[in-house]
Amino acid sequence: MDRRRRINERKPRGDSNANSQKEIAENIKSLGVSNVPAPKSSIHTLAIIGQIEGHVLLPTQNKATKYEHIMPQLVNVEENSEIEGLLLLLNTIGGDVEAGLAIAEMIASISKPKVSLVLGGGHSIGVPLATAADYSFIAPSATMTIHPIRMNGLVIGVPQTFRYFYKMQQRITEFIVKHSSIEMKKLQDLMSATDELANDIGTILVGKETVEHGIINQVGGIKEALGKLKQLIEECKK
């Protein structure tokens, strides 16, 4: 009996491996990443995909990025001494303005090097998110839609409503201008264009057009984005 117990004790147990796999699965389900952050990497990768969810829950069939999941990760990036840089991957249709702008402000205020890469699309409130990084890239086929803000639900036809719209729009345009090379007048012209979108106003920019207008720094992919981020990290160490 004692010999059998000793043999069983020598057998490796899979509990730790099972717990690790369970933790990874839970992170993917809740946060969209397999680890927070990657234990063997000094670069934290943050993906903002689908629609940015604000204070109102989106339907379950919507692919969404929840701001309450993103904000703690950004705090961790700033606080964790093992993380040296942030890689931001964007493929978003936009979403809640205040939630998106809050995330953009947090990204911009991080002291460590940060690079963004627009893949597929960085529309609407995705524009300030892309420009919040120290350096931004866009894939050649990716697009960005520049348009004024919209509001759902009850709209009261009084001067205060229009002033609120104006202030909200100013917050977004001023952030984009501050964190990119585009001029305010040009950005406003893109937002108010009437010959680009059907049944709407605004402008769709593809790949290098965003660079030509000064919104994004460079056309490129994951190789270029990682290369630039590593370069910025090395410069910070000097």
Mean pLDDT of 135-164: 88
Residue 28 lies in a domain: no
Q: What is the mean pLDDT of residues 10-22?
A: 60
CA atoms within 13 A on the CB side of 120: 11
Question: pLDDT value at position 30?
Answer: 63
Q: What is the CATH number of the domain that holds 77?
A: 3.90.226.10
The reply to whether 6 falls in a domain is no
| Total domains, the chain | 1
Q: Has residue 156 been placed in a domain?
A: yes
Residue 154, pLDDT above cutoff 60: yes
Q: What is the dihedral of CA 34, 128, 216, 83, to 10 degrees?
A: -40
Contact 139, 118 (CB under 8 A): yes
Catalytic residue among 147, 179, 180, 213: 147
- Residue 2, pLDDT > 90, answer no
Q: Is there a catalytic annotation at residue 124?
A: yes
Read off the pLDDT of each residue in 162-171 and give the average, rounded to a whole number.
Answer: 89
The whole-number pLDDT of residue 217 equals: 98
Contact 188, 201 (CB under 8 A): no
Q: Tell whether 37 is covered by a domain.
A: no
**9-18, 120-129, 206-215: which range is least confident on average?**
9-18
pLDDT of residue 226: 97
| Model confidence at 227: pLDDT above 50 | yes
Residue 29 lies in a domain: no
Residue 19 placed within a domain: no
Can 116 be counted among the known catalytic residues? no
User: Residue 2 domain-assigned?
Assistant: no
Predicted local confidence at residue 38, as pLDDT: 46
Give the mean pLDDT of the chain: 88
The string of pLDDT tens digits covering residues 33-80 is 555 544 578 999 999 999 999 888 888 888 999 999 999 999 999 999
The reported pLDDT for the residue numbered 232 is 97
Cα-to-chain-centroid distance, residue 200:
25
Domain housing 140: 44-237
Query: Could you identify the residue written with the tokens 């120290």?
Result: 134
User: Which of 116, 124, 136, 180 is labelled catalytic?
Assistant: 124
